[in-house]
């Protein structure tokens, strides 16, 4: 593909919209038609990111604690049990040992949320009672999103009624692959409405969308339709979160904010299991969107095994030499 990403001057030609957060806006097909993605430029840029030393060694522990606070600690397995979810919730409340937390000089570190299937929402809500940690439910026939539409909407309502404060919906990939943007918009609006007061994250399943331009257009449409977050993947596709997809989606978020003033969150998910990858993602958010997107209300990792590696790296940090000033790195 030999197309250009929209330039700042393209964006400046568009009228500025001022919309309240969480409300959808009309589908703007002119805007959708303008969306481009320069795949080779994005891939070249993404390839440089893991090698960049944008986080100094003495600050890495602070970034890793930041990463923990942004994890949607996830179990989405067919053999999930109440006992497994309860253990996960205990881990969410206390993601690192009290000794390690003390050595890091921190208090009150928790993950961002616990993410489970609808059936496990009540168990997770009970296990997290009093912690302030929200439960996120994957609803709408996760992961394929191919159950009857009314059942997907009903699943959202039941997850909210069971106590989920965040709903991770899956979009119908076929709407993107067939260019049926109106159908994608209508679907997302219906899911948004069914969520009520709960926050909604739109899972694009980017590994199944074919092109980065499709990823950019689906991102934009879900944001227009009221998504609070856009999320890469279910973790069940053969390709899940990648750096090129991330650049594409967070630049869509940046353009959307530039035009509407609305800040939409970003959640890479699937296959993120290494502490160093978490730092790469955080550094990318800081570079592309700024410090505001390093907070859990605008950034989450969807991850089932990332926390373990971060914990190991933090243990290494407290036993090794590091600057006493690191805690202030991300204040």
Cβ contact 248:219 at 8 Å: yes
Nearer to ligand G3H, 60 or 304 (CB): 304
CB atoms within 10 A of CB 200: 24
Tokens of 265: 């969150």
Considering only residues 75 through 94, tell me which ones interact with ligand G3H, judged by CB under 6 A.
76
Catalytic residue among 66, 201, 267, 286: 267
What pairs with residue 201 in β-bridges?
168, 229
Smallest gap from residue 25 Cβ to ligand G3H (A): 27
Nearer to ligand G3H, 27 or 198 (CB): 198
203: left (phi over 0), alpha (psi -120 to 50) or beta: beta
141: left (phi over 0), alpha (psi -120 to 50) or beta: left
Binding mask 266-305 toward ligand G3H (x if CB under 6 A, else -) reads: ---xxx------------------------------xxxx
Is 168 a known active-site residue? yes
CB atoms within 10 A of CB 283: 18
Nearer to ligand G3H, 75 or 214 (CB): 75
Q: How far apart are CA 168 and CA 296, in angstroms?
A: 15
From candidates 235, 244, 268, 296, binder to ligand G3H by CB under 6 A: 235
Smallest gap from residue 72 Cβ to ligand G3H (A): 6
Please report the DSSP string for 53-65 in residue order. --S-GGGHHHHHH
Catalytic residue among 231, 277, 286, 309: 231
270: left (phi over 0), alpha (psi -120 to 50) or beta: left
Considering only residues 173 through 212, tell me which ones interact with ligand G3H, judged by CB under 6 A.
none
Q: How far apart are CA 188 and CA 166, in angstroms?
A: 15
Smallest gap from residue 248 Cβ to ligand G3H (A): 18
How many residues touch ligand G3H under the rule CB under 6 A: the total is 12
Residue 111 in contact with ligand G3H, rule: CB under 6 A? no
Nearer to ligand G3H, 27 or 113 (CB): 113
From candidates 234, 242, 246, 248, binder to ligand G3H by CB under 6 A: 234
Cβ contact 275:245 at 8 Å: no
194 sits in which H/E element: helix 181-195
Smallest gap from residue 166 Cβ to ligand G3H (A): 11
Give residues in contact with ligand G3H (CB under 6 A): 74, 76, 115, 234-235, 269-271, 302-305
Active site residues: 168, 231, 267
């Amino acid at each position: 593909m030999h197309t250009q990403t929209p330039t700042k001057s393209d964006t400046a030609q568009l009228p500025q919209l001022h919309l309240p957060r969480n409300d959808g806006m009309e589908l703007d097909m002119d805007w959708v038609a303008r969306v481009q993605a320069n795949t080779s430029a994005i891939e070249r840029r993404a390839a440089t990111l893991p090698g960049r030393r944008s986080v100094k060694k003495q600050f890495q522990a602070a970034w890793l604690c930041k990463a923990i606070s942004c994890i949607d600690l996830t179990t989405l397995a067919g053999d999930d049990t109440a006992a497994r979810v309860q253990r996960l919730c205990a881990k969410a409340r206390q993601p690192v040992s009290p000794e390690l937390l003390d050595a890091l000089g921190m208090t009150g570190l928790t993950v961002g949320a616990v993410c489970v299937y609808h059936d496990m929402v009540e168990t997770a809500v009970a296990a997290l009672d009093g912690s302030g940690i929200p439960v996120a439910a994957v609803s709408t026939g996760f992961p394929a999103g191919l159950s009857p539409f009314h059942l997907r909407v009903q699943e959202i309502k039941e997850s909210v009624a069971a106590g989920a404060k965040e709903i991770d919906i899956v979009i119908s990939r076929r709407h993107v692959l067939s260019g049926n943007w109106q159908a994608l918009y209508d679907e997302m609006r219906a899911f948004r409405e069914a969520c009520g007061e709960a926050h909604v994250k739109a899972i694009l399943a980017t590994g199944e969308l074919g092109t980065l331009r499709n990823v950019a257009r689906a991102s934009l449409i879900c944001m227009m339709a009221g998504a609070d977050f856009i999320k890469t993947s279910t973790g069940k596709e053969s390709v899940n979160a990648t750096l090129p997809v991330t650049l594409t989606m967070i630049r869509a978020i940046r353009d959307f904010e530039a035009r509407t003033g609305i800040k939409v969150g970003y959640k890479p998910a699937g296959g993120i299991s290494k502490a160093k990858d978490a730092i790469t993602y955080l550094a990318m958010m800081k570079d592309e969107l700024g410090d505001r997107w390093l907070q859990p209300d605008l950034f989450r990792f969807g991850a089932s095994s990332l926390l373990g590696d971060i914990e190991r790296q933090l243990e290494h940090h407290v036993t090794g030499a590091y600057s006493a000033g690191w805690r202030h790195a991300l204040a």
